[in-house]
Structure 1
Amino acid sequence: MSKKSVVIMPDTRKILEQMGEQIKLARLRRRISAELVAERAGISRATLCSVEKGSSSVSIGSYSAVLHALNGMDRDLLLIAKDDELGRKLQDLGLLTGKRAPKEERI
């Protein structure tokens, strides 16, 4: 069975590339070698290179391991979708219609 490929939109690709560049700059500002970050993250130097290029084929676990190796920057991942303004507005609109909350299914 072949592996499914994910289609990455151009804007998302640019975001990933920017994120990779920011990770690389964070490493350089800390004056930590690529070899040491890769070792601390438990990944190969080639994978670190892919992270720093913003490759979409690298797992989010590898990204988080690299951020952790850069002195605990993985906590920044908690900021993703934290302030979901559109989602909250949509949720509030749904709550104003007077509908009941959906029943939970019991197994």
Structure 2
Amino acid sequence: MAKVKIVLLPKTRRIIDEMGENIKLARLRRKLSSEQVAERANISRPTLVSIEKGKPSVSMGSYLSVLQVLGLEKDFLIVAKDDTLGRKLQDAGILVNERAAKRNDKNG
């Protein structure tokens, strides 16, 4: 099976790069080697390196495992917590079309 190339907009690319750098800095502040963190997170060292470089091809589960090892797993709950745009749309009363009722095919 061919590997799918993930394409990110430049702004999004910078965000994931920064997240990887923040994870690396958190590891270094705790004076943990990459081997220690990878082992504790049950991932390979190359996967940890990819996380620290902000590679989008790494699963969210792997990112979360590393955050858990670093004691930062609750930071994951902050993602999309304050959905300002969504709340504004909700408050504006934007209606979403509902599904049509099922047809009764017996009557043609």
For normalisation by structure 2, the TM-score amounts to 0.83
Q: Once the two structures are aligned, what percentage of the paired residues are identical?
A: 58
Shift of 1:82: 0.6
Which residue is 2:63 aligned to? 63
Which residue is 1:87 aligned to? 86
Which residue is 2:106 aligned to? none
Shift of 1:62: 0.6
SS of the equivalent of 1:32 reads: coil
One-letter code aligned to 2:41: A
Shift of 1:6: 3.0
Q: How many aligned residue pairs are there? A: 100
Please provide the CA RMSD for this pair: 2.1
Shift of 1:2: 3.8
Which ranges of structure 1 fall in alignment gaps of 5 or more residues? none
Which residue is 1:24 aligned to? 24
Tell me, yes or no, if the aligned pair for 2:23 and 2:52 is still in contact at 8 Å: yes
Instruction: Give the whole-Å Cα distance in 2 for the aligned partners of 1:46 and 1:3.
Output: 17
Tell me, yes or no, if the aligned pair for 2:41 and 2:65 is still in contact at 8 Å: yes
Shift of 1:75: 1.0
Which ranges of structure 2 fall in alignment gaps of 5 or more residues? 102-108
For normalisation by structure 1, the TM-score amounts to 0.83
